[in-house]
């Protein structure tokens, strides 16, 4: 029987090693599917489709999975909430409630024992992708009660493969086999590894402006690749903010688009970075530029 959405404790996983290998092979075969382009050929329509879907679905992951469902950094209507969930799930990163619940666990135990994907506690490869296959099939219902009350989100979470399957079919109908191999699978693989870099690379490479009590780093390269998610030390220090690029020079495309959506009333109550946090960052940047060292900061409350 499926656990109720109000269960307080995580149920023991029903996954066995064979099931984990099955999921791993699906992941591997998705990568191999891109090679189908050698048979089908590559068309300009498929390439355009690939990069358009990469951008749109990446925004769905960052604005939907992460900044809305995981951290609730803005508000929106129930209809747009459902749209965000469908768009995010078209990235084939499992269900919206599964994703957000696991992410909340990550923040609670960041780089400590119990973190679901820490390169400090485990290896870089495990943090990047291995953790997905390591007995993580169950949704942590006790961590996501706020959104688990919506039946449409529970349905999507259970049948998480419906949005990516529908999108794969649409890509084939629009651009044939190249549309499937390059448009869908090519953009999906690029999207996966873009977002996985936040779990792995931004906990080992980059700058640490704030003392976030973990190894989160700000990394401009990953910020550009992931529409702003790479300002990871900022985010871990004050995770309640919708904006992760705290200052004007820290590019955060996800935040810019959400801000524009707020102008027309699609989203509202966007949570900003408090001035005290911005000033603390400026002080620490000045200290680093003049002395090369930074005094530890008290962790922000959020």
- pLDDT tens for 19-30 read 666 667 888 889
Q: Check residue 297 and give left, alpha or beta (phi > 0: left; psi -120 to 50: alpha).
A: beta
pTM reported for the whole predicted model: 0.88
Residue that the structure tokens 């006790």 belong to: 142
Higher pLDDT, 242 or 125: 242
Q: Tell me how far apart the alpha carbons of residues 245 and 251 are, in angstroms, rounded to a whole number.
A: 6
Tell me the sheet residues that pair with 267: 76
What confidence tier does 129 reach under pLDDT thresholds 50, 70, 90? confident
What was the pLDDT predicted at 134? Answer: 74
pLDDT at 281 over 90: yes
Q: Any idea which residue has 């984990």 for tokens?
A: 20
233-249 average pLDDT score: 96
- Rounded Cα distance between 236 and 214, Å, is 8
> Could you tell me which residues come within 8 angstroms of residue 129 by beta carbon, excluding any fewer than 6 positions away?
27, 192, 196
pLDDT score recorded for residue 15: 47
pLDDT given at position 28: 87
Across 24-28, 50-54, 192-196, 204-208, least confident range: 24-28
Residue 210 near residue 113 (C-beta atoms within 8 A): no
C-alpha to C-alpha distance for 63 and 302, rounded to whole angstroms? 19
pLDDT value of residue 301: 41
Residues ≥6 apart with Cβ < 8 Å to 181: 33, 34, 35, 36, 37, 40, 46
Percent residues over pLDDT 90 in the chain? 76
- Run of H or E including 267: strand 267-268
- Rounded CA separation 41/235 (Å): 42
Judge whether residue 3 has pLDDT over 60.
no
Share of the chain above pLDDT 70, in %: 88
The 10 Å CB-count burial string (b at 16+, else e) for 137-163 is ebbbbbbbeebbebeebbebbeebeeb
Alpha carbon of 12 to those of 3, 155, 237, 241, 295: distances in Å?
Answer: 10, 21, 32, 34, 44
Decide: helix, strand or coil at residue 168: helix
The pair of structure tokens assigned to 122 is 């485990």
pLDDT surpassing 90 at residue 142: yes
pLDDT at 106: 92
DSSP secondary structure code for residue 233 in this structure: H
The whole-number pLDDT of residue 132 equals 79
> At 116, is the pLDDT very low, low, confident or very high (cuts 50, 70, 90)?
confident
Tokens of residue 280, six digits = 């603390």
Indicate if the pLDDT at residue 78 is higher than 90.
Answer: yes
Q: What is the pLDDT of residue 4?
A: 36
* Mean of the per-residue pLDDT values of the chain: 89
Task: Find tokens 């485990």 and name the residue.
Answer: 122
Say which residue, 234 or 7, is predicted with more confidence.
234
Instruction: Decide which of 191 and 7 is more confident.
Output: 191
Question: Which positions ≥6 away from 221 have C-beta within 8 Å?
Answer: 230
Sequence spans of domains, the chain? 17-291
Judged against a pLDDT cut of 70, whether residue 9 lies above it is answered with no
Residue-level length of the chain? 302
| Residue 214 CA neighbour count, 13 Å, CB half | 27
DSSP 229: T
């Amino acid at each position: 029987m499926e656990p109720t959405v109000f269960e307080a404790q995580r149920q023991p996983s029903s996954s066995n090693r064979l099931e984990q290998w099955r999921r791993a092979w699906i992941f591997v075969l998705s990568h191999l599917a891109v090679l189908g382009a050698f048979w089908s050929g590559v068309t300009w329509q498929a390439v355009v489709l690939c990069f358009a879907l990469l951008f749109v679905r990446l925004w769905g992951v960052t604005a939907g999975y992460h900044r809305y469902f995981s951290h609730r950094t803005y508000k929106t209507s129930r209809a747009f909430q459902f749209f965000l969930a469908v768009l995010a799930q078209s990235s084939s990163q499992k269900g919206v409630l599964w994703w957000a619940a696991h992410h909340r666990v990550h923040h609670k135990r960041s780089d400590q024992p119990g973190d679901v994907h820490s390169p400090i506690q485990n290896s870089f490869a495990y943090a990047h992708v291995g953790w997905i296959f390591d007995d993580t099939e169950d949704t942590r219902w006790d961590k996501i009660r706020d959104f688990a009350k919506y039946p449409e989100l529970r349905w999507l979470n259970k049948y998480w493969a419906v949005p990516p399957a529908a999108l794969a079919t649409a890509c084939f109908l629009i651009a044939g086999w190249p549309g499937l191999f390059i448009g869908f699978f090519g953009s999906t693989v690029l999207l996966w590894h873009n977002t996985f870099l936040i779990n792995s690379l931004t906990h080992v490479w980059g700058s640490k402006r704030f003392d976030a009590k973990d190894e989160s780093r700000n990394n401009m390269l990953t910020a550009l690749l992931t529409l702003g998610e790479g300002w990871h030390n900022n985010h871990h220090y004050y995770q309640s903010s919708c904006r992760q690029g705290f200052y004007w020079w820290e590019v955060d495309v996800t935040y810019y688009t959400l801000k524009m959506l707020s102008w027309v009333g699609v989203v509202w109550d966007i949570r900003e970075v408090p001035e005290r946090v911005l000033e603390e960052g400026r002080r620490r940047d000045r200290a680093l530029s003049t002395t090369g060292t930074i005094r530890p900061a008290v962790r922000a409350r959020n």
